[in-house]
Structures are given as structure tokens and as C-alpha cells.
Amino acid sequence: MSSKEGIYPYTIDAYLSDFRGKATLPMLGGFMLQAATRHAEERNFGYSFMTSQQRAWVLMRMTIKISEYPSNDTSIKLHTWVSDINKLFSERSFAFEDQNGNYIGYARSMWASIDLETRRPTNILDLERMADFKLDKVCPIPNATKIPLLKDAELATSFTVKYSDIDINKHLNSMKYIEHFVDVFPIEMFQEKEIQTFEINYIAEGQYGTALDILKKETDQDKSVLEMKHNDKTICLARVTWK
């Protein structure tokens, strides 16, 4: 496939929507992962090719900014492209287009390539033709950045990683991190506001059967930082901004 940009249609199914009849953040994040997988696979740097090279893509950071959440039974188009690449990281961008042709959100994500045996990073530029798919298209939100570790945070909730949480590697699924983070907030907040920006740093893998704590600290009005921990080890960090 010669096109550097992938455009994929999705429908907002009612059975996956929230009590407001709108798409949830994990739903939109799931669409992003599906689109990223399809885009990479169609251009021969996806799951099949990577496993043949004893490698795997690992999501490191992501920022999602939504100006309007799409409603039940509406359609969207999800645009995705490789916006930057170097030895250690590949940056993938996304744009959400509603059925009227309006852009209602954007996202940026940072990925690393790891060796399946050593779990250590590999040189992405070694992947044949990978750099050819970089597209100089503007994504009008900041890059996904590092979130500082929390200090003096309160315990918000705890959970154990179970069957419905895990992926093919028996680790906490990328979208399940987001689900557990947004579930920290009471339903009243979703009645009054919406999550405008969600930033996440994946640091370590939450494994099946592991007990995890989520700590929360409000850092500003309508802004919170969340930290997922196993004992003293940080697994993941998120920053949530409401509007």
C-alpha cells in the first residue's frame, strides 16, 4: 500500500457507549489501537512482520484531546499516520473526523520496538522501509510527554488484574489502564463535565494476578494526576484535564 495515511471508519455502538449515549474514552482509545494495527499491518511493519523479526511494538506514551465526544449510532473516520521516527521511538498521530466532516479530536502516541526475548529496545531504523512512511502532516496538539511521579497522593482505589483485564501476553491491556483510571472519578463528574485531555505514560507491565493501587492528586482546577503502583513500583501514570 503506497498511501502514508490510513483512514478507517467506525460506528459508535450503543452497547459500548456510556450513560449519556456518547462514546467513552476507552472506546475511542480502542479504535486508535485497531487503526494503528491495521495501518502498520497493511504497510508491512505490523504484528506479523515484527514477530517474524522477533520484535514487538510497545506503546510508551499517549495523549488524546477530544473537543466533542461522538454520540450513539453515528459514524466517525479515524485518520492515522507516522509523524516522526528515530532509533528509539516512532511517533504515530491520529485525527477524529465526525460524519459531517468536522475534526472533533486528535491524539499522539509514542511507540518503541523491543526484542521479544530480552524485552530490550531495538533500533527502529533497522526496519526495512519503515522511515519511508513518515508523513509531514500537522497534528495540532503537543507531543506526548513524561508525567512526573506523584508526591503526597491519596489512595483512590485498588484492584487485582483479572482475566478480562489481560492481553495475549497476560499483561494488563493498554485500554484497561485507561478504564481503571477513569473509573476513579464519580459519575457526577461525567454528568457535569467531560474529559478534554487524557495523557498516559506506560512504564511497566501489570501482570495477571497482581494487586495494583491507584493514587490520585488534584494538581489544579479540573486537572488530576493518577499513578498506578504495585507496592513501591510505578506501573503507569496519567494526567486528566476536564472541561
Task: List pLDDT tens digits, range 185-210.
Answer: 999 999 999 999 999 999 999 999 99
Spatial distance between the Cα atoms of 80 and 152, rounded to a whole number of angstroms: 38
Q: Is the pLDDT of residue 48 over 60?
A: yes
- Residue 157, Cβ neighbours under 10 Å: how many? 14
pLDDT, the chain, mean: 95
3-state secondary structure of 199: strand
What tens digit of pLDDT does each residue of 56-106 get? Answer: 999 999 999 999 999 999 999 999 999 999 999 999 999 999 999 999 999
* 14-29 mean pLDDT: 95
Spatial distance between the Cα atoms of 101 and 143, rounded to a whole number of angstroms: 24
Spatial distance between the Cα atoms of 183 and 178, rounded to a whole number of angstroms: 8
For residues 76 and 99, the answer to whether their CB atoms sit within 8 Å is yes
What tens digit of pLDDT does each residue of 112-165 get? Answer: 999 999 989 999 999 888 889 999 999 999 999 999 999 989 999 999 999 999
Q: Which of 182, 110, 101, 178 is nearest to 142 (CA)?
A: 110
Same CATH fold, 154-242 and 6-133? yes
* 34-39 mean pLDDT: 97
* 33-54 mean pLDDT: 94
Bridge partners (DSSP) listed for residue 106: 65, 95
Q: Which of 57, 105, 100, 101 is nearest to 82 (CA)?
A: 57
Q: Is the pLDDT of residue 241 over 90?
A: yes
Spatial distance between the Cα atoms of 164 and 173, rounded to a whole number of angstroms: 9
DSSP letters for 99-128? TTS-EEEEEEEEEEEEETTT--B--GGGST
Spatial distance between the Cα atoms of 58 and 119, rounded to a whole number of angstroms: 10
168: pLDDT confidence band, cut at 50, 70 and 90? confident
How is the chain split into domains, by residue range? 6-133, 154-242
16: pLDDT confidence band, cut at 50, 70 and 90? confident
CATH architecture observed for domain 6-133: Roll (3.10)
The separation between CA 103 and the C-alpha centre of its own chain, rounded to angstroms, equals 19
pLDDT at site 130:
87
Question: pLDDT > 70: what percent of the chain?
Answer: 99
Order the strands of the 154-160 sheet from edge to edge: 6-11, 75-85, 90-98, 103-115, 55-66, 195-202, 233-242, 223-230, 211-220, 154-160
Pick the CATH number of 154-242 from 3.10.129.10, 3.30.499.10, 3.40.50.300, 3.50.50.60: 3.10.129.10
pLDDT at site 128:
80
2: pLDDT confidence band, cut at 50, 70 and 90? low
- Residue 3, Cβ neighbours under 10 Å: how many? 12
Please give the angle made by the CA atoms of 207, 209 and 214, to the nearest 5 degrees: 75
Q: Is the pLDDT of residue 1 over 70?
A: no
Please give the angle made by the CA atoms of 129, 130 and 135, to the nearest 5 degrees: 110
For residues 138 and 189, the answer to whether their CB atoms sit within 8 Å is no
